[in-house]
Structure 1
């Protein structure tokens, strides 16, 4: 099996189905002279997705193939495209996303609570939530290497220990540093260890329907956020914050046991591969895309962390009303993760759809200061949640369009994750600092978030222009 040095992505979209395994395509091209010419041409062309089954049917391999090449054929041809075992792996991936991104997305519940209980300013509390996302993306590359090397279950168990231990540790924490170490760093490490596993499992069992399977699995993030927000809404008042966290910890523990039991990874070889591909940054489309996504995600998570606080401070909502807003925001995310990727798959491709989603998210953030009532806030979170979830789902699916060497796609995805992890770490605290600097007014932070996403959108759009030309950018066709 060909090794992928980094995970395809947690925020995965419909087009991820068509990126695996790229090496099988190059092997088939060795069959005859015509195929060799095609391969040579593809090295100079941006990636265009193609059907996995077509690659396999083009040839059965030559007699002088090495054992490694024959193994690549076997892996590609053996994909069952679902089945009972395959859909069970989809369930396992869904639970991993639910426990990981779902818990992180619901951090807005604790943001308000910790500001009041720990007596710290918003920017300080924000480091707890941003640390979780930072470690998730940063460690995703490392855990991906471990899983590729055959250490799937060891990686899974290490992640479970840190994730569950961090949540339970937070329930006993009394100071800011204790909460940061437990809920911020420990759970972040746990989620980072799981980051690759959820995509890796599904990718082994699906070919044509991999996009559907990954899309269903990714819905664990908004659904998990809804579940954890509902738990907080019902339990914090009737019980306590401590027992709310413990209940969440028991839920994550229960799901972890299920995942460990039902996960059935296929054997992986222990071959090594490079962790970095620095020459990739010499390719202008890839470089612009990477910088653009840094600016995009610098502002993307601000609203998720600060909407409850905005509702309470600016609109005078009570705790239940503020949590209801976050609940609506999380639930709408399901539509944002399914509809835009479907449109991209059927018509205009992921990168164009991503550009549109980023610009719409930026417009929504610029419109946020105009929200003056609870109904207005509900309308706003519905609009923003739809577009920003589309961004999170589409950006990894778009990377195939801005790289010329698809045999290194996994490495290049990992490098983008490393870069954007620092944006996820810094974005929410910067927003919190701007709120504190303005004496509790959110205007500066809202403009900061909207502006960073606007800059990111222009850079990602420019990456598409460099990839296909200006005419190609406006040619609304799946082939362009």
Structure 2
């Protein structure tokens, strides 16, 4: 009898030990996490998806000379500001989230975001467009995106890349809808009302997503540092940040140039707008599959190969493209690959820096891409040769080289992570 009790006690002790051994901050890999995926996907749809449709506005601005006091580089800067300002405020947004909570930060952002579109509809001078469609929208995206970007890794571990792929596919869905919808609205109700309608739709959708979002900070207890200097002393962190910096030059140049490139090969305005929609179709369909591949084959390795593959696609398909069909093919294929940074930076940050350091690591990543986000399309338009038979040749080479060079940094990171004990 004594022996039985001893065994029962030992079994109970073992079970108790098993429960204690599981850290409370271990991601549940499901549960409410699936709702979080839906909420973040919706946010991506109505922030980055809408921002991705700026190429449609850009082609209209360039073709119609909407603002007589503006130069082509002005429009490039405005599109760059949407991304650049969103990344620039990362430290402030991270600290604001830590001090006042994510909901306050995100609601402030969605008001600025919608207000920027509505204010842009009343703009009559180019400096007014800088403040509204550039600065306000960029601030709004940043205040919504920065707090939400660190939440998903808290809910998933084994399926982390899949979860990130599904949520980031939302930007592709938004890009399809707004690339086609924006062009149709401009043609039927005019540019001012297209901006107002977009702003109101985004206000309602982003508010719903914000209210559904829930973090696990009470368990994970992330430090949420605005600028984590201690991480910059690590070689693997520097490699990841270097990849982010270089790859975004290629991403921005490709994303914003594709629609106007269509006009340069004698496509109609609607066909040029459709190219951006096809690119986003590739994003929406491809990213979940990229997530599955990342979880199965390794996140760093897959990100490295995808970055390299996008560079090859630019040289193999985009540069030789001279007709609508080939350009559509490139748009769909590259759509699944060009945003490798956005779909992998969260899981890669957790892989390199650890779960608790994800908000701090992401803050560094966002800061590292401010310059390329702001100036990549400016450089692309500067390299464009108007009047030439191939005006976008140099921007295309610029984008392709950015992806190829960026893949080298991830290849180096992949190598050192294969060596046990290497930091």
Q: Output the TM-score relative to the length of structure 2.
A: 0.85
Q: Is the 8 A contact 2:162 2:289 kept in 1?
A: no
Cα deviations by residue, 1:277-329 (Å, 9 ceiling, x for unpaired): 3343333332233223211111212121111111112x211111111111111
- 1:426 and 2:386 correspond: no
Paired with 1:153 and 1:407, the residues of 2 have a C-alpha distance of 20
Gap regions ≥5 residues in structure 2: 1-15
Q: Is the 8 A contact 1:199 1:214 kept in 2?
A: no
* CA 1:89–1:305: 2 relative to 1, 3 Å: same
* CA 1:338–1:183: 2 relative to 1, 3 Å: same
Alignment of 1:312-391 (within 5 A): 312-313=263-264, 315-347=265-297, 349-367=298-316, 368-391=318-341
* CA 1:261–1:468: 2 relative to 1, 3 Å: closer
Deviates more, 1:447-456 or 1:221-230: 447-456
Q: Which residue of 1 aligns with 2:39?
A: 92
Q: Give the secondary-structure state (helix, strand or coil) at the position aligned to 2:319.
A: helix
1:94 deviates by 2.0
Paired with 1:453 and 1:419, the residues of 2 have a C-alpha distance of 16
- 1:237 and 2:184 correspond: no
CA RMSD of aligned residues (A): 2.9
Q: Is the 8 A contact 2:149 2:346 kept in 1?
A: no
Q: Is the 8 A contact 1:166 1:187 kept in 2?
A: yes
Q: Give the secondary-structure state (helix, strand or coil) at the position aligned to 2:371.
A: helix
Cα deviations by residue, 1:389-448 (Å, 9 ceiling, x for unpaired): 334312442234444x66534323321221122221121111111115786711111111
Paired with 1:265 and 1:467, the residues of 2 have a C-alpha distance of 29
Q: Is the 8 A contact 1:170 1:245 kept in 2?
A: yes
Paired with 1:287 and 1:200, the residues of 2 have a C-alpha distance of 19
Q: What is the aligned residue count?
A: 399
Alignment of 1:60-459 (within 5 A): 60=20, 74=24, 76=25, 82-83=30-31, 86-115=33-62, 116=64, 117-119=66-68, 120-200=70-150, 202=152, 211-264=161-214, 268=218, 274-313=225-264, 315-347=265-297, 349-367=298-316, 368-403=318-353, 407-436=356-385, 441-459=391-409
Q: Is the 8 A contact 1:284 1:466 kept in 2?
A: no
Q: Which residue of 1 aligns with 2:7?
A: none
Paired with 1:456 and 1:361, the residues of 2 have a C-alpha distance of 11
Cα deviations by residue, 1:72-131 (Å, 9 ceiling, x for unpaired): 955x26x66544x55444332222111111111111111111223225443321111111
Paired with 1:171 and 1:362, the residues of 2 have a C-alpha distance of 37
* CA 1:402–1:259: 2 relative to 1, 3 Å: closer
Paired with 2:83 and 2:55, the residues of 1 have a C-alpha distance of 13
Q: Give the secondary-structure state (helix, strand or coil) at the position aligned to 1:301.
A: helix
Q: Output the TM-score relative to the length of structure 1.
A: 0.75
Out of 411, 414, 417, which is 1:467 matched to?
Answer: 417
Paired with 1:211 and 1:340, the residues of 2 have a C-alpha distance of 8
Q: Is the 8 A contact 1:299 1:428 kept in 2?
A: no
Q: Give the secondary-structure state (helix, strand or coil) at the position aligned to 2:123.
A: coil
Q: Is the 8 A contact 1:361 1:388 kept in 2?
A: yes
Deviates more, 1:277-286 or 1:199-208: 199-208
1:137 deviates by 2.1
